[in-house]
Amino acid sequence: MIEPLLIDKSKKGRLAYCYPSLDLPRSFDQELAHLPSHLQREGSARLPEVSELDVVRHFTRLSRMVHGVDNGMYPLGSCTMKYNPKLGEEIARMAQFTEIHPLQDISTVQGCLSVMYNLLEDLSSITGMSWGSLQPCAGSHGEYTGLKMIRSYFLKKGDVGRTKVLIPV
């Protein structure tokens, strides 16, 4: 079943909810002025104009199409299971990804490497970081990898005195 995008259900003038004006000392436009110009939107956001009921039903239908810790067993940490669209799961199960062997001839995996490279480029662009890693498999593995990267960063800068990590609970 394909769920249409909310923008495709949009009808001009249809509103879900209108928030009252806020009494704030600074306007949103003043806050945006601090952003670099290349990060500022040039026009209005093209947001869907749909009813509240449309939004609720849309996301309820999407939630039924997702496998998560609330409706089945998942062998990794639950912090990795936020929202996995069925399409993403189908793509991840494709033989072109699942049947790759580490010793396979590199010329036969160029499509997969291209997808991973483009994903890293996009993530780097979105986060403003110079590069990243797709290596960690799940929550604690990702946290450990992040700590190792942070340690490497500070060691490279000659800052060897950092030995503590603050962990929110």
Is 79 found in the same domain as 2?
yes
**Regarding predicted confidence, which is higher, 17 or 3?**
3
Task: Give a yes or no: residue 137 inside a domain.
Answer: yes
- Of 84, 86, 75, the closest CA to residue 139 belongs to 75
Is residue 19 scored above 90 in pLDDT? no
pLDDT tier, 59 (very low <50, low <70, confident <90, very high otherwise): very high
What pLDDT was estimated at residue 146?
Answer: 87
Q: Return the top range by mean pLDDT from 25-29, 88-92, 155-159, 163-167.
A: 155-159
Q: Taking the CA atoms of the chain, what radius of gyration do you get in angstroms?
A: 22
Per-residue buried b or exposed e for 123-157, using 16+ beta carbons within 10 Å of the residue's own CB: eeeeeeeeeeeeeeeeeeebeeeeeeeeeeeeeee
Q: How many domains would you assign to the chain?
A: 2
Domain check: are 140 and 72 in the same one? no
Residues 7 and 75 in one domain: yes
118 and 66, same domain (yes or no): no
13 and 58 both lie in a single domain: yes
Q: pLDDT band for 77, please (50, 70, 90 cuts).
A: low
Rounded-to-integer distance, Cα 154 and Cα 57, Å: 48
Q: Are residues 9 and 59 in the same domain?
A: yes
User: Residue 129 above 60 pLDDT?
Assistant: yes
What tokens does 101 get?
A: 């062997």
Q: Is the model's pLDDT at 83 over the cut of 70?
A: no
Its domain, for residue 144, covers 105-157
In a domain, 92, yes or no: no
In a domain, 64, yes or no: yes
- Same domain (yes/no): 58, 131: no
27 falls within a domain: no
Over 80: is that where the pLDDT of 134 sits? yes
